[in-house]
Amino acid sequence: MPEPRAAVRKMDAYSPPTEGRRDALRLDFNENTVGCSNAVIECLKSTLTADALSIYPEYAEAKRELAEFFGVAEDEILFTNGTDEAIQVLINTYIDDGDEVVLLRPSYAMYRFYAQLAGAAISEVDFSADLSFPLERLLDAIRPSTRAILIANPNNPTGTGIDAASIEPILERAPNAAVLIDEAYFEFSGVTVLPRIAYHPNLFVSRTFSKVYGMAAMRFGCLFSQAGNVNFLHKAQSPYSVNTVAVLAARAAVRDRDYVRDYVCEALAAREIICNGLRDLAIRAYPSQANFILFKAGHRAIPVRDELRRRGVLVRDRSYEIPGAVRVTVGTRAQAHRFLEELRSIW
Amino acid sequence: MPEPRAAVRKMDAYSPPTEGRRDALRLDFNENTVGCSNAVIECLKSTLTADALSIYPEYAEAKRELAEFFGVAEDEILFTNGTDEAIQVLINTYIDDGDEVVLLRPSYAMYRFYAQLAGAAISEVDFSADLSFPLERLLDAIRPSTRAILIANPNNPTGTGIDAASIEPILERAPNAAVLIDEAYFEFSGVTVLPRIAYHPNLFVSRTFSKVYGMAAMRFGCLFSQAGNVNFLHKAQSPYSVNTVAVLAARAAVRDRDYVRDYVCEALAAREIICNGLRDLAIRAYPSQANFILFKAGHRAIPVRDELRRRGVLVRDRSYEIPGAVRVTVGTRAQAHRFLEELRSIW
């Protein structure tokens, strides 16, 4: 049996994706809880032919359309197989074995995953006790040898964010590092540094179609940076990693602007309902700028998750990162009421 | 601007995928030239709902079904985002910077791509002048320090193959290496070592749905090995790299066995027509076990490709690897006649 690399042997054991979620109220993965726009489905039904599926993906037309949508040039955008591939390509482009990568803790697990896989020297900066962004400590952790800094804004699983202006000193402190701002939940926060790529050659911004767009099944994301960087990212990416169905769907999705606006409105209203409901139960919740809320269930975090699951409501236990914390995805107001009703009955 | 890794700087310049192929007779990428089974389209049209697309992929049921189809255990199969991801995951699992990888030349470009990206020390063994498999030279190139050997069987772009028994000495000579046999064109050759994974802990076999199944747009492949190896491969793979649409399509595709059998029969008959037609034109063609034929157009390779393109027939120039060589994909008998007719008119 061939011996795997030391970096792979050291990685956490593989845990397969959660299964059997279809019939439940899925408040566990921060997906869009009502499904993607019907315009996406109509587009796929009319364009998916036996002939079209047999051809290797083509991206040029879609790149023109999406670059325009995002307000960037065509050579400033890279299509990725979900945000996960954006992280992977960035790490593969900039991180050699032993290179220093700065992460926040807790944050999205795939930053650590790809950094570990590359054999990086990982330095982790803890969020503050109130889960606000630890800007000063992050700035202190940046060294001249720092090669990458990966930040989710808003952050997952905390839901807390940082304003765009506060990202500037990070970019200035780390001129030799690739700084990724992962804006997977941007549509719920309204905070973005995407226009700042013009001014910062070390800035990389990612967006996903797995959250507000309701297309997690299709795996589509975009990574943005200055053209010179995108050229190197391309060299580290396989030519056909993004499937045609996702590309077609993304084009249809961005054309239906009403859908996204309406879903965001609904989710923000639902977020307030859940915040108020938790307060009424005297449960501490952290301020959220995303489509999920982290709350404290204390020693009951895992029992609460399990009891809700028995009642058909899926939430995520995060107590392995933040003692007693449970994360609930925010969907519609009706779903918020359903969640609160079930929570009240077991609390 | 952050400095990319040396391995990335050294890589060949990015060349974007070929575009605008839809309306031509596409004999340039070894795709299925008539499109995937209609059963796949029917399945997608009935299962692609707004709700289904919003959920992160689930693989367990599909894994059971495809493991049974391929005659392996569930823990001996890894789903991959096309064969490209199979190569990437294998390299990421076993190859550290400077590790020795043995490749054949010419062969599928992505072996070299991912090996370079990992910073591997690549050793290349040339195919013989008649493009037969250089077994003795390959065996000589294997050293105790060889960490991976990547072989396409049948090989692309040569079309030539090696019999299953001749792979055994390679596996025996390289007990410490991960030996990948990429069987992307297996259905056309009938030669496979997949059942041999039970006996060789260093054997990895990949299959794709981009060729005979006509699903190149969807990106789906499978990588097989002993369960202990698959467990390590999983650790080096992101959990959601394969999209749900591809998984649904693959399940529908393997159920329609008649479709694959009929297409293979048609392509084998078409291959003979093209071989005979080339012989009538006194053009040298290499014996092929795949759905493509490599032939010698001498100094006219590029003009022939360009002239055929003007007539609506796409073929691939391979003269940068094999002097004067052009590769033509084999589809149906009618397409073979069309290709020969256009070729005759310009020869």
Angle between helices A257-280 and A244-255 (to 10 degrees): 80
Q: What is the pLDDT of residue A104?
A: 98
Place of tokens 């002097």: B323
Check pLDDT > 90 for residue A12: no
Looking at beta carbons, which residues of chain B come within 8 Å of A212? none
The closest alpha carbon to A151, from A165, A162, A137, A136, belongs to A162
Report whether A267 contacts A283 (CB < 8 A): no
| Whole-angstrom distance, CA of residue A34 vs CA of residue A24 | 12
Q: What is the pLDDT of residue B189?
A: 98
Shortest CA distance from A218: residue in chain B:
B243
Kind of pairing between the strands at B203-208 and B221-224: antiparallel
Give the percent of chain A with pLDDT over 70.
100
Interchain CB distance below 8 Å, A84 and B235: no
Check pLDDT > 90 for residue B13: no
Give the percent of chain A with pLDDT over 90.
97
A121 DSSP β-pair partners: A100
Q: What is the pLDDT of residue B239?
A: 94
Measured CA distances, B173 to A7, B100, B123, B200 (Å)? 26, 15, 16, 12
Give the percent of chain B with pLDDT over 70.
100
- Give me the mean pLDDT over the B303-326 stretch: 97
- Give me the mean pLDDT over the B72-89 stretch: 98
Tally C-beta pairs within 8 A across A and B: 295
A293 DSSP β-pair partners: A328
A15: confidence class by pLDDT, cuts 50, 70, 90:
confident
Q: What is the pLDDT of residue A18?
A: 87
The closest alpha carbon to A187, from A107, A291, A108, belongs to A291
Residue type, A269: A
Q: What is the pLDDT of residues A304-322, one digit of tens each?
A: 999 999 999 999 999 999 9
Interchain CB distance below 8 Å, A50 and B34: yes
Check pLDDT > 90 for residue A17: no
Check pLDDT > 90 for residue A262: yes
The closest alpha carbon to A245, from B326, B34, B81, B260, belongs to B81
| Whole-angstrom distance, CA of residue A57 vs CA of residue B53 | 19
Report phi then psi at A285, rounded to 5: -120, 150
Residue B106 preceded by cis peptide, ω within 30: yes
Cβ neighbours for B272, distance < 8 A, ≥ 6 positions apart? none
The closest alpha carbon to A89, from B79, B101, B4, B97, belongs to B4
**Coil vs helix vs strand at A11:** coil
Q: Where are the domains of chain B?
A: 6-35+258-346, 38-255
Looking at beta carbons, which residues of chain A come within 8 Å of B13? 235
**Coil vs helix vs strand at B73:** coil
* pLDDT, mean over chain B: 97
Q: What is the DSSP string of B143-185?
A: -TTEEEEEEESS-TTT-----HHHHHHHHHH-TTSEEEEE-TT
Looking at beta carbons, which residues of chain A come within 8 Å of B201? 1-2
Report phi then psi at A106, rounded to 5: -80, 155
Interchain CB distance below 8 Å, A96 and B119: yes
Residue type, A27: L
Place of tokens 């990966």: A150
CB-side exposure of B17: number of CA atoms within 13 Å? 22
| Whole-angstrom distance, CA of residue B39 vs CA of residue A152 | 41
Report whether A89 contacts A230 (CB < 8 A): no
Check pLDDT > 90 for residue A16: no
Q: What is the pLDDT of residue B14?
A: 85
* pLDDT, mean over chain A: 97
Shortest CA distance from A199: residue in chain B:
B1
Interface confidence, given as ipTM, is 0.96
Check pLDDT > 90 for residue A71: yes
**To probe the interface with A, which of B203, B235, B237 has the most A CB atoms within 10 Å?**
B235
Cβ neighbours for B49, distance < 8 A, ≥ 6 positions apart? A35, A41
CB-side exposure of B169: number of CA atoms within 13 Å? 12
Give the percent of chain B with pLDDT over 90.
97
What CATH architecture is A19-35+258-346? Answer: Alpha-Beta Complex (3.90)
Of B20, B48, B60, the CB nearest to A44: B48
Q: What is the pLDDT of residue A14?
A: 85
Cα of A267 to nearest chain B Cα, Å: 15
Cα of A73 to nearest chain B Cα, Å: 16
Q: What is the pLDDT of residue B117?
A: 96
Domain B6-35+258-346 of CATH type 3.90.1150.10 = yes
- Give me the mean pLDDT over the A20-37 stretch: 96
A101 DSSP β-pair partners: A122, A148
Least confident stretch, A9-18, B175-184, B285-294? A9-18
Report whether B239 contacts A81 (CB < 8 A): no
Q: What is the pLDDT of residues B164-196, one digit of tens each?
A: 999 999 999 999 999 999 999 999 999 999 999
Interchain CB distance below 8 Å, A53 and B14: no
Alpha-carbon torsion (A129, A157, B239, B147), positive or negative = negative
Q: What is the pLDDT of residues B256-265, one digit of tens each?
A: 999 999 999 9
Report whether A216 contacts B59 (CB < 8 A): no
Q: What is the pLDDT of residues B241-252, one digit of tens each?
A: 999 999 999 999
Q: What is the pLDDT of residue B18?
A: 86
Report whether A289 contacts A189 (CB < 8 A): yes
Looking at beta carbons, which residues of chain B come within 8 Å of A226? 1
Q: What is the pLDDT of residues A220-255, one digit of tens each?
A: 999 999 999 999 999 999 999 999 999 999 999 999
Fold classification of B38-255 (topology level): Aspartate Aminotransferase; domain 2 (3.40.640)
Interchain CB distance below 8 Å, A218 and B245: yes
Angle between helices A60-70 and A244-255 (to 10 degrees): 30
Q: What is the pLDDT of residue A314?
A: 97
- Give me the mean pLDDT over the B206-229 stretch: 98
**Coil vs helix vs strand at A158:** coil
Shortest CA distance from A13: residue in chain B:
B235
Q: What is the pLDDT of residues A267-313, one digit of tens each?
A: 999 999 999 999 999 999 999 999 999 999 999 999 999 999 999 99
Cβ neighbours for B334, distance < 8 A, ≥ 6 positions apart? none
Single pTM value for the model:
0.97
- Give me the mean pLDDT over the B132-160 stretch: 98
Check pLDDT > 90 for residue A13: no
Kind of pairing between the strands at B25-26 and A221-224: unpaired
